[in-house]
Amino acid sequence: MRWTILCDFDGTVSVEDVIDSLLSEYGRPGWQQLEDDWRAGRIGSRQCMRGQVELLELDRPTLDAHLDAVRIDQGFPDFVGQAAAAGVPLRIVSDGLDHAIHRILARHGLQDLPVSANHLVARAPDRWTLESPLQAEGCGSGTCKCSFAAPGRRRDDERVLLIGDGASDFCVANRVDFVFAKHRLIEHCRAAGIPYMPITGFQDAIELLPRLLDGSLLPPAHSPLPAALPA
């Protein structure tokens, strides 16, 4: 089997959610109501994120200084190296901010990783807006992660691993072949019967990836995948 990895960013690669950290320091009133509306299902994440980004008030130097303080999972660079050595493509697929992801990754020498995310655009020296070039019809997310799983276009020997942590990964988790899940995504996979392994961070993923690639993490061919596999 030939595997491809789709990896979420905020809360998965980064220790904290970048947009939440920006809003808590630089968001004007109204961003929390948008958050509440999204969590209640009254609006989609694209509408929520666009509205929240337009409530940010900070200039580019302040933004970049903030991003330079965002920490990532210490095991992520080694995991990227492990995947590359095994010939497994890895793409960051995020409903977050492209500028933030590129800047944070570059600080760790990972600027060559492909990134698919919402596009952050300056509309004034201290005002911002969000474009979502990867949205899809019928999808409320800014980045339609399901389009990257593309199950209908895969060959019989191609498989997709998702690594994620939260609500933006719920839909695509149903369309991939296996999940390394953190936080809320663990409960979703368990409830939906999606084959997964729980991880606390990328050190766990480093230990699990060889077993996924050699097939020992998976049940025998043609047998149904259980909702959760033993460690």
Closest CA to 118 of 141, 140, 137, 138: 141
Distances (CA, A) of 229 to 142, 173, 189, 216: 32, 16, 11, 11
Residue-level pLDDT at 151: 54
> Per-residue pLDDT averaged across 36-47, rounded?
93
The helix (run of H) or strand (run of E) holding residue 211 is helix 202-213
Is 60 exceeded by the pLDDT of residue 165?
yes
Phi, psi (5° rounding) for residue 126? -130, 25
Q: What percent of the chain clears pLDDT 90, i.e. is strictly above it?
A: 86
Q: What is the pLDDT of residues 148-160, one digit of tens each?
A: 987 545 667 899 9
pLDDT value of position 223:
38
Q: How confident is the model at residue 137 (pLDDT cuts 50, 70, 90)?
A: confident
How much is the pLDDT for 218? 83
- Domain 2-213 = CATH 3.40.50.1000: yes
* Ranges of each domain in the chain: 2-213
pLDDT, tens digit, 9 for 90 and up, residues 182-207: 999 999 999 999 999 999 999 999 99
